[in-house]
Amino acid sequence: MEPRLPVHIGNAAISSLVRYCRDNQMNQLTLVADQNTYAALGESVEHALGEHEFDVNTIVLTGEEIIADEHYIVQVLLQADEKDRVYIAVGSGTITDITRFVSHRTQAPFISVPTAPSVDGFTSIGAPLVIARLKQTIVTQPPVAVFADVPTLCAAPHRLIASGFGDIVGKFTSIADWRLGNLLWDEPYDAAIAHRARQAAQACASHAGGIGQASEQGIRCLMDGLIESGFCMLDFGNTNPASGAEHHVSHYWEMKLLWENRPAILHGEKVGVACILVARYYDQIRQMSQRQATDRLDHAALPDREQELRRIRAAYGPIAETLIGEQAPFLDMSGHTYDSLKQRIVDSWSHIQEVAAAVPSAEELTSMLKTAGALTDAADLGLSHDEVATAMQMAHYCRNRLTVVKISRMLGIHWQDG
């Protein structure tokens, strides 16, 4: 495991940042923010660095909705100069991911200065970007350090705080999906990292009330959990410890909104709602005996490939062919391979139920999210019943992974409205 990067979460983040830059001879810097994050903290960071005679090139992205896509990546590149500078991302997930990608591709380090505890990607190597209208995570680099100012985090709009809680609660189902993929599809897995990710989620769940009130203790706990989740991804080398079916549903909704030019929904808001829906699959698995599972699998037929291709094209339109190629291990399964997978499910049923038992019920997750002031219903996100149904049926094709959604389909388990 690589040494942990420096993380400061406290009331003196800016002075700690200045000292870190001075001690590491980081004298030329590019500060990246948007209009909101610049007002919240970026201007103070710029002023503090200027007082200590650092050479700072400030880039403030503008627009009604900042998206981590080609447009804003190019905007940062156009406003950068020819000097070798260290990037400072002052913002939440979007600003961090844009800066992460640009700094990696220009072979420069970057420092993360979060302005809201809204996502778990601050210490991750992955940059979730929208490229050619496809949501994809590009492997890039972690920051060299993180400086989080607690007063700024506590003062963030509560919707952003609730989004961070939704993202961390999503680890309950993502960790379970990760284990299922290992049990049934031989996907790489690390039990120690999974344990760490679950502990982070559980700690935040235990502080849901304080997070809902934006207390200093609650926000510190949430930020600690989000940072630890990012470290889990960093230590494992990809997003599997923190992204399962709940994230696939979120990604599908995000792309659909983009295609239809509709207002975006915060990442963690979508993940929290999707986590409840995915947990309903685990609720049903917990109640199913091995005999019942065997009987259901005996009647499960290999999906018709042409029918599946039609469904993917209808759901994913402009990016369908890309996903069809990525999903070849599932779409091109032979009858023999499908039967082997069914038998593996039966043989592993006791382990599958252990995995399901570790997932809080949909009712418990709903209570956690409400306590933290987060949304729990897709309708509150502006999503229709049909959009939810399509996501629950088709979002598993976003990623080449075996999750509870694919297993539930084989078992004849359907998502429920609740």
Q: What pLDDT sits at residue 132?
A: 83
**pLDDT tens digits, one per residue of 43-99:** 999 999 999 999 999 999 999 889 999 999 999 999 999 999 999 999 999 999 999
Residue 243 falls within a domain, yes or no?
yes
**pLDDT tens digits, one per residue of 207-257:** 999 999 999 999 999 999 999 999 999 899 888 999 999 999 999 999 999
The SS3 call for residue 145 is strand
Examine the pLDDT at 418 and tell me if it is beyond 50: no
From residue 245, alpha-carbon distances to 10, 142, 307 in Å are 34, 24, 22
The overall pTM is greater than 0.85? yes
Residue 361 falls within a domain, yes or no?
yes
Amino acid at 275: C
Is residue 359 a contact partner of residue 176, using CB atoms and an 8 Å limit?
yes
CATH code of the domain in which 42 resides: 3.40.50.1970
CATH code of the domain in which 309 resides: 1.20.1090.10
Query: Lowest-confidence range among 159-163, 247-251, 413-417?
Result: 413-417
- Together in a domain, 245 and 124: no
- How far apart (Å, rounded) are the C-alpha atoms in residues 334 and 345? 17
Residue 2 falls within a domain, yes or no?
no
- Together in a domain, 223 and 278: yes
Q: Count the domains in the chain.
A: 2
Q: Which domain holds residue 404?
A: 164-411
Q: What pLDDT sits at residue 417?
A: 53
Read off the tokens for 189.
Answer: 């897995």
pLDDT tier for residue 124 given thresholds of 50, 70 and 90: confident
- How far apart (Å, rounded) are the C-alpha atoms in residues 197 and 229? 6
Residue 258: CB atoms within 10 Å: 16
Read off the tokens for 156.
Answer: 């963030």
- Together in a domain, 275 and 398: yes
Contacts of 133 (CB under 8 A, 6+ apart): 255, 258, 259, 318, 319
- Together in a domain, 136 and 250: no
Query: Lowest-confidence range among 8-22, 313-327, 352-366?
Result: 313-327
